Amino acid sequence: TAIDKVTFQCLESTPKLTLAGANNGSVYAFSSTSYACVFTLVLGKTPVQAMVPLADEGRTVGVGTKDGFVRLYDVHDEEATPSKLVTTAGGGTVININLLDEATDNDSDVLVNSVRSLNWQPSTKRLLVGTILSHLYAVNLALTTGEKPSAR
């Protein structure tokens, strides 16, 4: 995996992996034991700004990008290709923070919000999302119940 021409924007770790979000829209996963790059998540061209492990002892990771999206991935096995979560209903694997913001014109392609920080609250099963507009959202994630995520 060629990683010599990217800038890592954020780092997180799970028991098995160290994850590095990059300015090229990818997340690189390194083995916690061998330090080798074991897989790459290519999310697009938008820089990865924030990541956070969610519950399940690092099985799931939330990834926030500059275009205002949060995506959830199953990264539990360093030997397998990671996949988007399929346990949440209603498109719950991709959360568009722009749609939660009054400043976003839902009829245009202009995205005004950018995810800058993520925090997981295991006791409430909420993902906190901080944005460039100094907004804080609490997204209810029902990772095991199949309920549609909601935001406050």
pTM of the model: 0.76
The CATH number covering residue 144 comes to 2.130.10.10
**What's the mean per-residue pLDDT of the chain?**
76
Which two tokens mark 24?
């090229």
pLDDT per position as a tens digit, 26-75: 999 898 889 999 888 888 888 999 999 886 566 788 899 998 888 888 77
Range of the domain at 96: 8-151
Q: Would residue 140 count as lying in a domain?
A: yes
Q: Would residue 119 count as lying in a domain?
A: yes
pLDDT of residue 60: 81
pLDDT of residue 117: 94
Find, among 21, 128, 39, the residue nearest to 81 by Cα. 39
Find, among 20, 58, 57, 60, the residue nearest to 40 by Cα. 20
In DSSP terms, 136 is beta-bridged to 130
- Is the pLDDT at 143 greater than 60? The verdict is no
Total domains, the chain: 1
Q: Would residue 89 count as lying in a domain?
A: yes
